[in-house]
Amino acid sequence: MKVIVGNEDYISQLIADEFVKQVNAKPNSVLGLATGTSPLKVYADMIKANKEGKVSFKDCATFNLDEYIGLEGTHNQSYRYFMNDNLFNHIDIDKARTHVLKGVGDYEAYMRQYDDEIASFGGIDLQILGIGSDGHIAFNEPGTPFDSLTHIAELTESTIKDNSRLFNDISEVPTKAVTMGLKSIMNARKIVLIATGKNKAKAIYNLLKGPKTEEVPCSILQDHPDCTIYCDEEAYSLVK
């Protein structure tokens, strides 16, 4: 596992460059995408590269990690809305080839097919991850089995509290989500993880220095053959 430390602008640009490099080498790349505040600057840099003619996403396919249960894709806190607003609406991608888990309707049937659908595209070439303060990745909370595929997750109190900053009130935060599992994530050929801020320091310490345990979901990344962790100084502070 490789670790790169720098300020948020620097590490976001490096990750965006990885996506540009991947797509230019393989125009029909399958990209694994994340939501939340961590990848926002990465997506802004990817948009900039696309508008400057440095990369085209027109032949790519994308798969997102998760979605809240109970939110329509038009809801401004749904992850489909987030991806359209922060990336897809601004690049030359075919939205029919962008996949975000469903949070309404027959989402359980779609969930059961998600890993097979990823495999039908040849698997994910490059996956970006954020990380929760308790070490969760996607919505795989502490205790999630390492062999989990896409499933329904009950969100912990700390995750609900962390995500409440994006809602008007904590009572509005959904308590369940559909999420790619830990095995699903590990199936990606290359993984990049971004972590910024002091509230991520314990999670990064446990990822890099702690034992591999299902109580720290991110620790499974210790076994991935091509994973790079991008941190700012605050997130890396306990490791130092």
Angle at 196 between CA 164 and CA 180, to 5 degrees: 65
Largest CA distance in the chain: 47
pTM: 0.95
How many CB atoms within 10 Å of residue 12?
24
Catalytic amino acids?
Answer: 66, 134, 136, 141
Strand partners, 98: 62
pLDDT by 10s per residue, the chain, length 240: 999 999 999 999 999 999 999 999 999 999 999 999 999 999 999 999 999 999 999 999 999 999 999 999 999 999 999 999 999 999 999 999 999 999 999 999 999 999 999 999 999 999 999 999 999 999 999 999 999 999 999 988 888 888 888 788 898 888 899 999 999 999 999 999 999 999 999 999 999 999 999 999 999 999 999 999 999 999 999 998
> What is the C-alpha separation between 114 and 187, in angstroms, rounded?
13
Which class does domain 2-234 fall in? Answer: alpha beta
Phi/psi at 66 (5° precision): -165, 175
Q: In sequence order, which ranges of the chain are alpha helices (DSSP H)?
A: 8-25, 40-51, 79-86, 107-120, 157-163, 182-186, 201-209, 233-236
Residue 138 near residue 185, CB atoms below 8 Å: yes
- The helices-and-strands tally (H runs, E runs) of the chain is 8, 10
